[in-house]
Amino acid sequence: MRLKLERLINQGILAKKDLALSSISPRFVFRRYAQKLSAQNARIIRPLPGKALPEISVNVGIYQGNNPSALKLCDFLQKRLSDDLFGAYVHGSIATTEEVAYSDFDALVIIKESVLADEHRLAATAYRLHQATRFMYEYDPLQHHGWFVLLESELRRYPQDYFPYELFAFAKSLFPDQGRKFSLSLNPEPGASTLFYMLASNIINRLNNAAYPQNIYQLKSLLSEFMLLPALYVQLRDKEGIFKKYSFAAARKDFSTADWQIMDDVSRLRDNWHYETNSLQEWLMRKPGFIFRKLSARMAPAIPPDLKAILTPSFYQRMAALAYQMKSQSSLVNKISEKNLDRMPI
């Protein structure tokens, strides 16, 4: 249910058949889906069996940076959504005030339980959060994701595989007076997460089939997925979350210097990131919504010549090779059912 809500918030639709309607009356689309999601949420609410789970205390600091987009988002949320959100947070480089040209906008919201019980309130909340994604694309037009979304009810059985609670230590609250101190209980039966395995397999499959990026948007999406692998790998290996910045050193000890070199090479591309847009691209890529993000993926600027010279087939194959080694090394490999393995790309 949460994943459907997250997709609605970020894309503005759940099905392509709603594209035309969303361009005429986006609020109606949100109202229609909110009714279904609210009813679905009511059906899945069940008393939690067994004894109370151990609680983990979380304490999140207040965002005190000067990122213009983060400040605009903070103002928007406080004026329009403070009654509907348990908390709102920035994480990643914006939270730690370490932004570089490559940085995207990482943000998480926790939606109040009472919002899910009221379809009208849910529709309004989801629509406003969708509107707020414009601040993310204003900051990074190449952004390939929107909000991370959690439900207040999930704090009682926290989905550690989705957003490791350890990351709150590096996050900052966009609300000064709410959602800063709370407790959560980890889901005792989270199941084996396939996120790392699926992401690594997808990278391997694409690169082995020479499906190389054709523009700067596609390139950033690939590089970002590749640089996420160390954090997911370490999380599986150590059974706890790790801040992405520290995951590279933590993961590299399991691989030879020669094999890991490609991760350092990709990181250097991040450090030297640049591109240019024309006025049409600039307008298009700052707009939220499914159709604009799809157009951004196709009509984004070309990869600059100096970067393109580095991105040879050999470069991409080295990326695929390390992804394959990380997948093979992961302790998760032996815990995935044969059924799931059969569904994953080679």
What was the pLDDT predicted at 5?
A: 95
Q: Has this prediction a pTM greater than 0.85?
A: yes
Whether residue 116 is predicted with pLDDT greater than 50 in this model: the reply is: yes
Query: How high does pLDDT run on average in the chain?
Result: 91
How far CA 292 is from CA of 5, 232, 298, 332, 339, in Å, comes to 19, 29, 10, 36, 36
Confidence bin at 331 (pLDDT 50/70/90) = low
Residue 50 above 80 pLDDT?
A: no
Contact (CB, 8 A) for 246 and 171: no
Share of the chain above pLDDT 90, in %: 80
| pLDDT of the residue at 340 | 46
> CA 286, 292, 295 angle in degrees (round to 5)?
110
- How far CA 145 is from CA of 46, 66, 79, in Å, comes to 31, 22, 24
The confidence score (pLDDT) of residue 51 equals 63
Residue 325 neighbours by CB distance under 10 Å: 16
In the predicted model, is pLDDT for residue 241 greater than 90? yes
| Residues written for the chain | 346
Mean pLDDT, residues 86-114 taken together: 97
pLDDT value at position 324? 96
- Give pLDDT tens digits for 151-185: 999 999 999 989 999 999 999 999 999 999 999 99
Confidence of residue 15 (pLDDT cuts 50, 70, 90): confident
Mean pLDDT of the region 8-27? 86
Distance separating alpha carbons of residues 313 and 318, to the nearest angstrom: 9
Res 26: pLDDT: 82
- Phi/psi of residue 59, each to 5°? -135, 115
